[in-house]
Structure 1
Amino acid sequence: MREVWSAPVRFAECDQGGVVFNGHYLTWAHEAVEAWWTALGLPFAHTGLDQRIKAATLEWRSSARWGDTVTVDAELDRMGSSSFTVALTVRVGERVCCVVRTTYVAVADGLPIPWPEHVRALLQG
């Protein structure tokens, strides 16, 4: 499933040249994941699970700038037993700015646990 989140680039997200700081791509990715979970029917904060980000990578391609509107497409990239990875493509129009891959893991008492079947079914559509 693909879900789009979008927002205008704010001045506070940019350097003096109007170019977005790298860390904001991760913030936008997280916003998109929250919207994606909600679209799946399970709001992110209400999964009933303790979940953590295991890893996040950014593959930068071009800059978003002040005044642009960014959109983020989110889709399941990989499903494991205790973790899954979401691929998030940040765009300005048709131009890809960054691809973020974030891996989430379900945990209990600080250790990975399998995602419940109802969550797996929602994630895999």
Structure 2
Amino acid sequence: MPEVWSSPVRYVECDQQGVVFNAHYLTWADEASNGWWAAHGLAWDELVARRIDPVVKASSLEWTASARWGDTVTVDAETEKVGRTSVTVRFTVRVGERVCCVVRNTYVALADGRPTPWPDDVRARLTEG
């Protein structure tokens, strides 16, 4: 089951045509990622205390429709792939049932600035559900 985040589209997020400017889809994915990590029992303060620093290595966006000022966007965050040092999360941005954009972020675990394997207990949490 996906973790869900939602927000009304603000005027400031739109361009002169009244559609959401593309960079905001990444912001919404970032907002939704907080709930996704928490849903896996991985609070940021716990990861930092353990010297695990998940950073975005790559992002991709695929648009199918525009969100507009006045819409409410909902972002479904789901684990797509867990690797040895990375995890890819798919963020489906929609207005109602209409999919607007799919964002994929690949996070890499860093320790001392270098990729490091996920600890076994973290990997287990990432692969649950």
Which band: TM-score by shorter chain? Answer: over 0.9
- Across the aligned residues of Structure 1 and Structure 2, the Cα RMSD in angstroms comes to 1.1
For each residue in 1:29-69, what CA deviation from the matched residue of structure 2 results, as whole angstroms up to 9, or x when unmatched? 01111111112222235423112110000001100000000
Cα distance in 1 for residues equivalent to 2:87 and 2:40: 15
Do structure 1's residue 52 and structure 2's residue 55 form an aligned pair?
yes
Match for residue 91 of structure 1?
A: 94
Describe the shift of the 1:44–1:59 C-alpha distance in structure 2 as closer, same or farther (beyond 3 A): farther
Which 5+ residue runs of structure 1 have no aligned equivalent?
none
Which 5+ residue runs of structure 2 have no aligned equivalent?
none
> What is the total number of aligned residue pairs between the two structures?
125
Describe the shift of the 1:4–1:13 C-alpha distance in structure 2 as closer, same or farther (beyond 3 A): same
Match for residue 20 of structure 1?
A: 20
Cα distance in 1 for residues equivalent to 2:3 and 2:23: 21
Query: Which range is displaced more, 21-30 or 43-52?
Result: 43-52
Cα distance in 2 for residues equivalent to 1:102 and 1:45: 21
| Structure 1 stretches of at least 4 aligned residues deviating more than 6 Å after TM superposition | none
